[in-house]
A and B are shown apart, each in its own frame.
Chain A
Amino acid sequence: MSGAWFDYTVNGFVIGNIYALLAVGLALIYGVANLVNFAHGSVYVVGAYTGWAAITYLDTPLPVTLLCVIAVSALVGVGIERIGLRPLHGSSRIAPLLATIGIALVLDQVLQLLFTPDPRAVPMQVPEWRVAIGGGTIGALDLLIAGIGMISAVVLYSFLRFTKLGWAVRATAQDSDAAQQMGVDVNRVNMAVFAIASALSGVSGVLVGMYYNQISTAMSFEATLKGIVALIIGGLGNVPGAIAGSLILGLTESYGIALFGTSYRNLFAFVLLIAMLVWRPNGLFAARRSLPPEPMTGTFIARSRPVAVPRWAVAAMIAVAALLPLLDQPYLLQIGANSLMYAMLALSLTLVAGTVGQVSLGHAALLAIGGYASGLLAMDAGWPVALAIPAAGLVTAALGTLLVFPAFRLTGHYVSIATLGIGEIVALVILNWTGLTRGAIGLGGIPPLEVFGIDLGSVEGTYWLCLAVLVLLALLQLRLLRSHLGRTWRAIRDDPVAARSYGVSGDRYKALAFGFGGFAAGISGAITAHAYSYINHETFGASISILALTMVILGGLGNVLGAVLGATLLIALPEAFRFLAEYRILIYGIVLLLLIRFRPQGLMGTV
């Protein structure tokens, strides 16, 4: 038995080293640029595929493979800095974060187009011997990974400590204005840091490929998340902390698997993330417990005047939409119904991210809660669908608010990271709570939409129901925005300190926003579940959260009509150009990047 534990420890240590190669780069980038780089995992996949291609096509020996990986990844890193960071100098802090999400979408899709989504095996370039030690074993690859991890740490330390550029990196991280006044070219420093960080990330990717003997384009998102978790454990921007955080994460996961099984692995990681954000947001090693002074606040609200749309025009649009089924085009209606369901989600997110300024990256989890709640109420409790759906909205409102509640005191980047983690936790709980959710099998045979005996399962029925619900939710939200409540929400977004000094309790109002937002998203998820008749833990994944955010930014943050427009455009347009279907995600990524750079106020303007 002790031998098995030895193996788990070795495994945890090796995985920890792989995470460390990721997290150190994230910490460096955060240090100089105050940016959590969401494209970091994509570079890791770039590294993995570069290694695979070098070995497969050029038959390179290990050192040359690593050199290729380092060169290509570093170049991609430089590109990310040029596109995602430099042009956004002077925008709000969250803008570069969103830009790196866009870059990640683009990179992932490009890799998928180049290499297909099918997993590949990375040829082993290390002898396959293993030595038995204390009942367990250590292999050559374990030693290689540990060795590369430690050598990288030593090289990095020497670079920061003893080279001029390294000093400039540290100085920039501590005070970039002052560094400029010493003659430091901060752009050059950022570029160097992105190159170094990306090279490490790429090496990490190819090592993982060898360790699991498999790579795929899908591993990018998880790599980003794990790197961020390790980063938060160690404290944002803390390089030695990131190494320690990675080892802690690796060992926690490994022991967690030993005790509870593989499917709990990520749950441990994200619970650790949320626990850290709630109790030690500055990391395990920070001397001060308070949040850092304000470097991460500031929402992605570009001041603008919203486009004024007269009431009659809105009424006309609703009328046209209501008459659409008369055209007798089932395919068009299908897309229409889909757009409307997304529009409900966008309404919810535009309230939370736009009006209240909490940029949520886990909003799809609310759909999942709503979908499962309604499905289970209808199937297991025998509720009529017409009651199950609103009940699911209420459940989502309550549960969603409760889940995000611990994160209310966080601001800026921390909110985005926390909501992302909470979203993943929801999906993992659904996967693992088999007794309630049927686990990986998913919910099948969810009863179709009907309201008190009237069957709405047809395409027209679904469409009309969605339209009616959307109009109701939108009117309600507009009403709220014009009220005292709406003004208070915007006050909390624009200046939380001032709002607090006027006696406004931020938490209570944030809870109201998440409550209403949760209700709308829950209804959307519930309708989706009944319309699809089958959902599982992957139906409402992180990519939907990102898509919703793109919709909301496209429409104009906080703008109700904009949210509906954004959802319609992003769902309908790729359908209209079917030949583009393969490039869908690529298009979303590019749209997001262009918006952040050139039209942060969106099409309809922010409110």
Chain B
Amino acid sequence: MSALLRLEGINSFYGPVQVHFDLNLAVEAGQIVCLLGGNASGKSTTMKTVLGLQRPGSGRVWFDGAEITGLPTPQVIRRGIGSVPEARRLFPAMTVRENLLMGAYARSDRAAIAADEERVLGLFPRLRERLGQRAGTMSGGEQQMLAMARALMGRPKLICMDEPTMGLSPLFVDRVLELIQAINREGVTVFMVEQNASLALGIAHYGYVLQTGRIALQGPAGELLRDPRIRDAYLGGTARDGGDAG
């Protein structure tokens, strides 16, 4: 069976610096797949490559059976990819409702958008209380929920999340992880980038570990959680040099 999202032989560059070295990665439909790695390992660049925000030097990106390498971001989005950007990136001066409807910007089926708004608000009841409030005035956790809800409004087949738990209080981290699972249960495939390996692997089906632009490890999430190398580097096992995400 072919994967929903596939990156093949990606070499990407940031100015003169090479970020990815022959990166290969696949996200199977219906799963939660996480990409782990420390700072400057190339995680965020992977996200940008998928979303068309950065063009790889070489290699190809496939989504839903078609090549999307080098497509402009708006067209990538229109093919069925939703984005929850790093640091959320809401439209702070727009209301919660306007932010949600911006998520459906690429769609024109008004009735279905209204129905989706109801469905999404059912999933995030807290947002319903705040529909008229400016997005910038909400707490970090609420903003994260809005960012996820906004991405869902595009009815994506795949949602890309860049560090969804970053900067949240522990209470909200659990809530966000539950919501990611809930989204996934509704049939949306999730590809997430995370620094917090144990949390991400706790809900994911499959995981990749990125180290200085190369896939160092991959496997089903359960196996990775038990893998001593992961535990050493990311889960605070026996201390070893180079674990920068402890």
Contacts and interface: CB of A to CB of B under 8 A. Distances in A.
A175 B72 CA distance: 17
A182 interface: yes
B77 interface: yes
Contacts of A186: 74
Interface stretch (A109-117, A162-170, A320-328, A442-450): A162-170
Interface string A162-203: 001001101100110111111111100000000000000000
Contact of B105 (A164, A174, A177): A164
A182 B150 contact: yes
A183 B93 contact: no
Contact of A174 (B51, B78, B94, B106): B94
B89 A184 contact: no
SS of A interface (majority):
helix
A167 B53 contact: no
B49 interface: no
A186 B154 CA distance: 18
Contact of A182 (B53, B93, B154): B154
Contacts of A179: 91, 102
B106 A183 contact: yes
A171 B135 CA distance: 12
B164 interface: no
Contacts, number: 63
A231 B77 CA distance: 35
A168 B105 contact: yes
Interface in B64-98: 72-74, 77-78, 83, 85, 89-94, 98
Contact of B51 (A167, A168, A175, A181): A181
A204 B90 CA distance: 35
Contacts of A178: 85, 89-91
A525 to B, nearest CB: 42
A180 B73 contact: yes
B154 A177 contact: no
Given A167-B101, A171-B94, A171-B102, A185 B89 contact: no
A167 B89 contact: no
Contact of B91 (A164, A175, A183): A175
A179 B106 CA distance: 11
Nearest to B73: A180
Given A167-B102, A168-B105, A182-B150, A174 B77 contact: no
A143 B89 CA distance: 44
B37 interface: no
28 contacts: A167-B94, A167-B102, A167-B105, A170-B94, A171-B91, A174-B92, A174-B94, A175-B92, A177-B89, A178-B89, A178-B90, A179-B102, A180-B74, A181-B51, A181-B53, A181-B77, A181-B85, A182-B77, A182-B83, A182-B102, A182-B103, A182-B154, A183-B78, A183-B105, A183-B106, A184-B105, A185-B72, A185-B74
Interface of B: 51, 53, 72-74, 77-78, 83, 85, 89-94, 98, 101-103, 105-106, 150, 154
Which 6 interchain pairs have the tightest Cβ spacing? A183-B106, A178-B89, A183-B77, A181-B83, A180-B73, A174-B91
